[in-house]
Amino acid sequence: MERSIIVTGASRGIGRSIALKAAEKGYQVCVNYKGAADKAEAVVREIEAAGGTAIAVQADMAIEADILRMFETVDTKLAPLAALVNNAGIVDKAAPVADMSLARLNRMFSTNITGPFLCAREAVKRLSTARGGPGGGIVNISSVAARLGSPNEYVDYAASKAAIDAMTIGLSKEVANVGIRVNAVRPGVIYTEIHASGGEPDRVERVKSMVPMQRGGEVEEIADAALWLLSEEASYVTGALLDVSGGR
């Protein structure tokens, strides 16, 4: 049976790897992006070259109308929705809380919290067996920052991911009896471009000595965890917060 998956923030990094691996598993893939159309289209081409089906859909996770349009596009252009990966997220430059502006906090929370909530809402509407859906899975990409707090760097980012953890636990219990499993992956320090957007492209090299395994993680390691949580091998797993952090 054909099925589709939405991966938010899939033009690069962890999202890109999840999109590629989802296509390998047989999903038709919605490659969501905010602004990097060229990179998103490159992911689509890579999936198509391997014999898969994918579309790139622009949507800003801070704008409800964009999110609604993205889901409606998938409804009309791809197979029935079976899975959502809430991966899109932002980080800002390292700063203490005392120096954080309201604009920064609003931008952080609207993208990292409200966006995933809205995406989860739309996914549940389509997946819930009580609403005529087939059931399915939601995976939220959180962060070990949710329990570490990221003092003097990204307390706002850590707080946004703690909210995602709470949403994962609460929503999983809310929809467990309507065929939907909801879990989260909490990456540690991973080699991705998000560190550059936070003003420190070499952050993994600086902090990897604090990781028991003494290395940063690779995006494929996060993608494998996300796809496992969506698979039948994890059929009795819901409400889980899976740390993929090298022991940190």
Q: What residue spans define the domains of the chain?
A: 4-244
Rounded CA separation 139/157 (Å): 18
Q: What is the pTM of this model?
A: 0.95
The listed CATH number (3.40.50.720, 3.40.1360.10, 3.40.630.10, 3.40.30.10) that belongs to domain 4-244: 3.40.50.720
> Which DSSP symbol is given to 88?
-
Please tell me the predicted confidence (pLDDT) of residue 180: 99
Kindly list the distances between the CA atom of residue 244 and the CA atoms of 66, 79, 123, 218, in Å, as whole numbers in the listed order: 31, 30, 25, 10
Catalytic: 157? yes
| SS3 (DSSP) at 199 | coil
Which amino acid is located at 83 in the chain? A
Given 27, 33, 154, 157, the catalytic residue: 157
Give alpha helix (H) positions in the chain: 13-24, 37-49, 64-77, 102-109, 115-127, 145-148, 155-175, 194-197, 203-207, 219-230
CB contact burial 175-205 (16+ within 10 A = b; e otherwise): beeebbbbbbbbbbbbbbebbeebebeebbe
- Sequence-ordered list of residues with C-beta below 8 angstroms from that of 182, at least 6 positions apart, any chain: 120, 137, 138, 139, 140, 168, 171, 172, 175, 238, 239
Please tell me the predicted confidence (pLDDT) of residue 203: 74
Please tell me the predicted confidence (pLDDT) of residue 202: 75
C-beta separation of 149 from 173 below 8 A = no
Please tell me the predicted confidence (pLDDT) of residue 199: 60
Please tell me the predicted confidence (pLDDT) of residue 209: 86
Please tell me the predicted confidence (pLDDT) of residue 197: 58
Please tell me the predicted confidence (pLDDT) of residue 206: 77
Q: Is the dihedral of CA 103, 109, 111, 115 positive or negative?
A: negative
Pick from 58, 77, 75, 76: nearest CA to 67: 58
pLDDT mean by block of 10 residues, the chain; 248 residues: 96 97 98 97 98 98 98 98 98 96 98 98 98 98 97 96 98 98 95 64 78 88 98 98 93
